[in-house]
């Protein structure tokens, strides 16, 4: 068949800072998915978009074309409203694990399609796969049944959901175009809108351990995604949250599951509890249930009950012992004083080098590997006390993990105070 456009004409239009028309955008996404537009042509267009940007109409149409490249799920037959959360990723970000069952315990269904970790940020599915028997791959029918019966599901996205995004995501990774805000926003939002949720809360991380290092850049991404959700009829709100410092006291797979269960049991680190409750309130409000206080469901055990049912429904054993790394190495505080910084990126890289993450999609992860933190910025420490414990099955990895941690923390004289952003920096709706 003859094609409606020529790829070179579309590339040149964006290269020369022109707007792409709706028909051009529809064609280029469809033709790329069909293999008519070659990878080198799409990478050239992605670079032109990175350099010259897109306006709101172009980004909205690009996102819609990616959604139309595959199936769109529909949760309108469920007996309760749906609300979902997406985090742009960080170090120690285990929030999805306690959040999904907590929101479900408050009467709102949570269809959470999650991914695997790549590089220094952990993947939700990798964390949950450290639970014996738990499986990430569900059919659409299984997902619908679990949402109706349990109220929450965390699983892998099916191949039929926004296939254009899957292809373009892999290409951006190897062509230096990952940072293009129109492409980041459309990638995230095409999957979330196609997933069919009625409301969406975005957790846009800012700081060294996040994709966005700068508050203004993060705000631009958040605003773009909120606009995309709104244009598609999904109630969308975004929070900018702090990723200068790892979330909680663990970075790793089984380590983070253990910490998440502590939160569901009514304990856990303050920052994890605070962010879980803040996001839960946003998700409930977006779904029309601001009359419910999620703190009650955390206190009275209802959230823990949903967690156990959610894990069991996907073949996991909520009572099974979690994997523990064979070897540990303790990093001791070198002096008395106040811990004023703990760099999220460096802790994330150390956890990755210990085996908690992967460099390529094919790599296996170690369930027990990671970094445990015994103090966070603001804490008083004493020389010789444990500061960090490194966990791995392969002790030869310790040296490179310790290299990653050089200069990662600073101990100032007593009375010093850390200069940190608040946990929640801004809200965009």
pLDDT digits (tens, 9 = 90+) for 45-64: 999 999 999 999 999 999 99
369 vs 351: CA distance, rounded Å:
7
190 is catalytic: no
**Which CATH superfamily, name and number, covers 7-53?**
Transferase, Pyrimidine Nucleoside Phosphorylase; Chain C (1.20.970.10)
> Taking the model in full, what pTM does it have?
0.94
Label residue 1 exposed, middle or buried (CB < 10 Å: 0-12, 13-18, 19+): exposed
Specify the CATH number for 327-412; select among 3.90.1170.30, 3.40.190.10, 3.40.1080.10, 1.10.3720.10.
3.90.1170.30
- Radius of gyration in angstroms for the set of CA atoms belonging to the chain, rounded to a whole number: 22
Question: What pLDDT is stored for residue 118 in this prediction?
Answer: 63
330 vs 336: CA distance, rounded Å:
17
Nearest to 113 by CA among 36, 42, 194, 231: 194
Question: What pLDDT is stored for residue 119 in this prediction?
Answer: 65
Alpha-carbon distances, residue 47 vs 15, 165, 418 (angstroms):
9, 16, 39
187 is catalytic: yes
Do residues 201 and 282 touch, judged by C-beta distance below 8 A? Answer: yes
Do residues 125 and 119 touch, judged by C-beta distance below 8 A? Answer: no
Straight-line distance from the first to the last Cα atom of the chain, in angstroms, rounded to the nearest whole number: 44
Comparing 201-210, 286-295, 299-308, 355-364, the range with the smallest average pLDDT is: 355-364
In the Cβ-directed half-sphere of 155, how many Cα atoms lie within 13 Å?
A: 27
Question: What pLDDT is stored for residue 381 in this prediction?
Answer: 97
Question: What pLDDT is stored for residue 249 in this prediction?
Answer: 98
Which residue is catalytic, options 116, 172, 219, 376?
A: 172
Q: Read off the pLDDT of each residue in 390-394 and give the average, rounded to a whole number.
A: 97
10 Å Cβ neighbour count for 415? 8
Which residue is catalytic, options 26, 126, 165, 203?
A: 165
Backbone angles phi, psi at 86, to 5 degrees: -130, 130
126 is catalytic: no
The CATH number of the domain covering residues in 84-313: 3.40.1030.10
165 is catalytic: yes
- Averaged confidence pLDDT in the chain: 94
Label residue 74 exposed, middle or buried (CB < 10 Å: 0-12, 13-18, 19+): exposed
Which residue is catalytic, options 85, 166, 191, 235?
A: 191
pLDDT > 70? residue 263: yes
Which token pair is 281? 């309130």
327 vs 369: CA distance, rounded Å:
9
Which residue is catalytic, options 83, 187, 190, 260?
A: 187
Nearest-5° Cα angle at 264, 391 to 119 = 40
Which token pair is 377? 């910025």
Q: Are strands 199-206 and 84-87 parallel, antiparallel or unpaired?
A: parallel
Q: Read off the pLDDT of each residue in 392-397 and give the average, rounded to a whole number.
A: 97
86 is catalytic: yes
Q: Name the residue with tokens 């960090």.
A: 388
419 vs 329: CA distance, rounded Å:
29
Which residue is catalytic, options 14, 61, 85, 86?
A: 86
pLDDT digits (tens, 9 = 90+) for 269-283: 999 999 999 999 999
pLDDT digits (tens, 9 = 90+) for 2-19: 898 999 999 999 999 999
369 vs 328: CA distance, rounded Å:
9
Query: What residue ranges do the domains of the chain occupy?
Result: 7-53, 84-313, 327-412
Question: What pLDDT is stored for residue 170 in this prediction?
Answer: 83
Q: Read off the pLDDT of each residue in 182-186 and give the average, rounded to a whole number.
A: 95
């Amino acid at each position: 068949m003859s094609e409606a456009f020529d790829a070179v004409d579309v590339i040149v239009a964006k290269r020369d800072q022109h707007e792409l028309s709706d028909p051009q955008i529809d064609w280029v996404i469809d033709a790329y998915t069909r293999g008519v537009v070659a990878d080198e042509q799409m990478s050239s267009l992605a670079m032109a978009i990175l350099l010259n940007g897109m306006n709101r109409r172009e980004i909205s149409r690009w996102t819609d074309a990616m959604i139309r490249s595959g199936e769109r799920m529909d949760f309108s037959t469920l007996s309760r409203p749906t609300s979902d959360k997406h985090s742009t990723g960080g170090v120690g970000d285990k929030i999805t694990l306690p959040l999904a069952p907590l929101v479900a315990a408050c009467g709102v269904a949570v269809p959470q399609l999650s991914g695997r970790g790549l590089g220094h940020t952990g993947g939700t599915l990798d964390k949950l796969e450290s639970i014996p028997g738990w499986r990430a791959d569900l059919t659409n029918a299984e997902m619908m049944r679990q949402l109706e019966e349990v109220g929450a599901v965390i699983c892998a996205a099916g191949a039929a959901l926004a296939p254009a995004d899957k292809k373009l995501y892999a290409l951006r990774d190897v062509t230096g175009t990952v940072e293009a805000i129109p492409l980041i926003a459309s990638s995230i939002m095409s999957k979330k809108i196609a997933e069919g949720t009625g409301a969406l809360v975005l957790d846009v991380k800012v700081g060294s351990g996040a994709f966005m290092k700068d508050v203004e850049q993060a705000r631009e991404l958040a605003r773009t995604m909120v606009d995309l959700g709104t244009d598609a009829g999904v109630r969308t709100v975004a929070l900018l949250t702090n990723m200068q410092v790892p979330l909680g006291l663990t970075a790793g797979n089984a380590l983070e599951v253990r910490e998440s269960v502590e939160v569901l049991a009514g304990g856990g680190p303050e920052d994890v509890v605070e962010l879980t409750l803040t996001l839960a309130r946003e998700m409930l409000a977006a779904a029309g249930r601001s009359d419910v206080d999620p703190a009650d469901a955390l206190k009275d055990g209802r959230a823990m009950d949903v967690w156990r049912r959610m894990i069991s429904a996907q073949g996991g054993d909520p009572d099974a012992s979690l994997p523990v790394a064979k070897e540990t190495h303790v990093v001791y505080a070198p002096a008395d004083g106040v811990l004023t910084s703990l760099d999220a990126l460096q802790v994330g890289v150390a956890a990755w080098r210990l085996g908690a993450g992967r460099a390529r999609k094919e790599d296996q992860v170690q369930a027990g590997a990671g970094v445990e933190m015994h103090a966070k910025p603001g804490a008083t420490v004493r020389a010789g006390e444990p500061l960090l414990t490194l966990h791995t099955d392969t002790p030869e990895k310790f040296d490179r993990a310790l290299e990653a941690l050089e200069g990662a923390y600073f101990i100032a004289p007593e009375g010093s105070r850390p200069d940190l952003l608040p946990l929640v920096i801004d809200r965009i709706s």
